[in-house]
Amino acid sequence: MRKLFTNLLLAALVIAPSTLFSQNCHGTVKYCPNGKKEGFTYNGQSLSGAFIQGDTAEVTIIVYKDMEYRMSLCSPTQYELNGKFEFQVVEKITKPGWKESIKYEMVEEYDEETGEIIGEKKVEKKTRRRVYNKVDVVRYDNKKDEDAQEFIFVSDKTRKLTIKVYIPEVPGIDEGDGLGAEAYACVGLLIEHQPAAKTGFNR
């Protein structure tokens, strides 16, 4: 009985840190510096998560036409990561194209002189179909914007965007053996919105 208890305790000590830590990262995004002073409101598509340095994560969001968005990243648990996040905003765009297919058919073969049927032969028949492929278009890359950690944008259409986030490897942060809580960073992807300013004449 005592041995069983010891084994259970050991198992709990191994499993607990990662489990507890991942749970504790919920709500991380609430601690990220926000744009409330500029009129932005918290957007429910914001996310929090536990990550190891060097990892990459992707999230798909919907952004509406006529809305202005502010996007930023923070880690309240690993300050060394702040200012070093890399992220891209990617959109899948539809591009028209052609798709070729080849099929073979048996056709009657004629004698060149008499015109009589002398048998059958296999001929190649090519067809092409109109297809619409999705290609990834990078809308924004913070590495091309002096590693900016916040990004404000508007869109002329409602769109589906994928945010690709890279958690940098920063020297000095103890990565432990990969099992301890110190190996993880709580990261928040804060998304905020406000109605976009209207330009032009209005009646």
Partner 1 sequence: MKKNMLKWNVIALIGLVVGFSSCGEEAKPEENKEKVIVEDDVEDTTVLDIPELDPDMAYSVPTPNELFTIIKETGVAYDASVLNSPDNREKYTNKKNQALNFGVYFADLAFASSFEEHASILGYFGTIKVLSDELGISNALDAAIYERVETSLENEDSDSLMFLSNDTYFQAYSYLEDNERGSTLALIVLGGWIESLYIMTNLGEYEEGSNLVARIGEQKLTVGNLMGFMMKYQDDADVAEVMEELADIEELFWSFEEVEGDDASTSQEGDVYVFSGGSTIVVSAEQYEKLKELVSDLRNDIVEGEL
Q: Quick one: 172 or 178, whose CB is closer to partner 1?
A: 178
Least Å distance, CB 76 to partner 1, is: 15
Least Å distance, CB 134 to partner 1, is: 8
31 binds partner 1, rule: CB under 8 A: no
CA-CA distance, 45 to 25, in Å (whole number)?
Answer: 16
121 binds partner 1, rule: CB under 8 A: no
Residue type present at position 136: D
128 binds partner 1, rule: CB under 8 A: yes
Least Å distance, CB 124 to partner 1, is: 10
Least Å distance, CB 110 to partner 1, is: 21
What are the tokens at 97?
Answer: 């194209």
45 to 74: interface string for partner 1, x by CB under 8 A: x-xxxxxx-xxxxxxxxx-xxxxx------
Question: Per CB under 8 A, which of residues 165..194 are in contact with partner 1?
Answer: 166, 175, 178-179, 183-184, 189, 193
For residue 180, the 8-state DSSP code is S
93: left (phi over 0), alpha (psi -120 to 50) or beta: beta
What are the tokens at 55?
Answer: 């990892």
What count of other Cβ atoms lies within 10 Å of the Cβ of residue 64? 14
For residue 197, the 8-state DSSP code is P
